[in-house]
Amino acid sequence: MLRFIVRRLVQMVGVMVVLSLLLFLWLRALPGGTVSAILGERATPASRAAMEEAFGLDQPVHIQYFKFVGRVLQGDFGPSTSVLPGTDALDIFLQRFPATIELSFFAMVIAIALGIPLGYFAARRRATFFDNASVIVSLVGVAVPVFFLGFLLKYIFAIKLGWLPVSGRQDGQLEATRVTGFFVLDGLLTREFDASWDALKHLVLPSITLASVPFAVIFRITRAAVLEVLDEDYIRTAESKGLTAKVIRGRHILRNAMLPVTTTIGLQLGALLAGAVLTERVFSWGGLGEALALSFERRDYPVLQVVILAAAMIYVIVNLLVDIMYAVIDPRVRTR
């Protein structure tokens, strides 16, 4: 097991080096760039040249890359140029990471808490009204674009009903104390329960929006997996042995059906960032998804680089954790 983990970690370093090079070259190959974004219509050949020289953009690409790697090895990704100008890109990542984790956590809780039980019951009640209705709901979850769902939910619950806030993470006038960057947790830790409650209210709509796709995927995979397991010989054997329904459900159906579901949850966690780009933008959620969208739009390369590299690293780590979980759930994996 240890050798397996070490091997995967070494592979991860290789992936990151190759990705950083490809990313660096891709960004430099794009037309336009930071200088255009900063100077806008006011650019003159002289101001453009002075800025390119100041940023080292007048040097050959390989020199720029080696300088970039040299700085990154010292933990310096360079200052942001537009998302939060002047602030170190890594600090922006660290500041916004809790926002995305908080949102993703609540979204995944919603997706799993609804997806697995509904998938299980839909499979057990196959071809009933409940099954058909659940499948339709899950199809809607996949088919409706995230931004549309976000705007629709805001229109109903924030504007028309006024129950929930339109956007952001917290009411700015609460003067909440920041400890961890997880606003709900911060409120609990500092006993500013109104701040915690306000942060929770801000989380409801974006979490539901972000949960829509993973919910649908988890629901469908759970349903399919349970249906497959129900047809297995060992279920019939268990029934014929006279095991109770509770034991069959818990030990034989759910445990076996959970294998593909666990893999799916892992992949969905990694894919959440893609969904977060739109959800965070629509809800002005100050997380990594919004930073990624803004940094691309405004050509903020330092932020773009750190967010993409970190997202890739998180994706690889989550998959490694899923593989380890897989080994825990299915003992056969451990022996391979």
Partner 1 sequence: MTFKRKATPLAVLTVAALALTACAQSDRDDSGSDTGSAAGTSTFTFGAAGAPKVMDPFYATDGETFRVTRQMFEGLVGIKAGTAEIEPELAESWEPDASGTNWTFNLKTGVKFHDGEPFNAEAVCKNFERMFDQNKDGQVAAEYWAGTFGAFKDKAATSLYKGCEAKDEKTVVLSVNRPTSGFPTFLSLDALSMQSPKAMETGKANEVKAQGEGFIYPEYSKAGVGTGPYKLEKYDEANKTVTLVRNDDYWGEKAKNAKVVFKIVPDETTRRQELEAKSINGYDLPNPADWKGLESAGNKVEIRPAFNVFYLGLNPIKNPKLADVKIRKAIYQALNREELVKTQLPEGAKVATQMMPDTVSGYNKSLEAVKYDPAAAKAAIAAAGGLTLEFAYPSEVTRPYMPNPQKLHQAMAADLEAAGITVKVTTKPWNGGYLDGVDANAFDAFLLGWTGDYDSAHNFIGTFFGSLDANNFGLTKHSFGATLAGDLAKADAIVDEAQRTAAYEKINQQIQEEYLPALAISHSPPALVVGEGVEGVVASPLTAEEFSGVTVGGK
Find the binding residues for partner 1 in span 175-194 (CB under 8 A). Answer: 175-179, 181, 183, 186, 188-192
Structural contact between residues 177 and 192, judged by C-beta atoms closer than 8 angstroms: yes
Query: Which residue has 């039980």 as its token pair?
Result: 117
Stretch that binds partner 1, among 54-62, 212-220, 269-277, 325-333 (CB under 8 A): 54-62
Nearer to partner 1 by Cβ, of 23 and 166: the residue is 166
Residue 88 bridge partners (DSSP): 79
Q: How far is the CB of 34 from partner 1 (least distance, A)?
A: 5
The least distance separating partner 1 from the CB of residue 57, rounded to whole angstroms, comes to 7
Three-class secondary structure of residue 300 per DSSP: coil
Closest to partner 1 by CB, 217 or 309:
309
204 binds partner 1 (CB under 8 A): no
Does the protein bind partner 1 through residue 131 (CB under 8 A)? Answer: no
The size of the chain, in residues, is 336
Chain-centre distance for alpha carbon 298: 22
CB 317 within 8 A of CB 93: no
Binding to partner 1 (CB under 8 A) within 263-322 occurs at: 281-284, 286, 290, 294, 297-302
For the CB of residue 255, give the shortest distance to partner 1 in the complex, in Å: 18
Backbone angles phi, psi at 84, to 5 degrees: -145, 80
Question: Using CB under 8 A, which of the segments 107-115, 155-163, 204-212, 248-256 binds partner 1?
Answer: 155-163
Residue 162 binds partner 1, judged by CB under 8 A: yes
Classify burial at 167, counting beta carbons within 10 Å of its beta carbon; exposed 0-12, middle 13-18, buried 19 or more: middle
Provide the minimum distance between the beta carbon of 289 and partner 1 in the complex, in angstroms, as a whole number. Answer: 12
Q: Is 43 left (phi over 0), alpha (psi -120 to 50) or beta?
A: beta
Binding status of residue 47 toward partner 1 by CB under 8 A: yes
Question: 301 is written with which tokens?
Answer: 């390369």
51 binds partner 1 (CB under 8 A): yes
Whether 234 contacts 300, CB under 8 Å: no
235 scored as a contact of partner 1 (CB under 8 A): no
Q: Which is nearer to partner 1, 7 or 67 (CB)?
A: 67
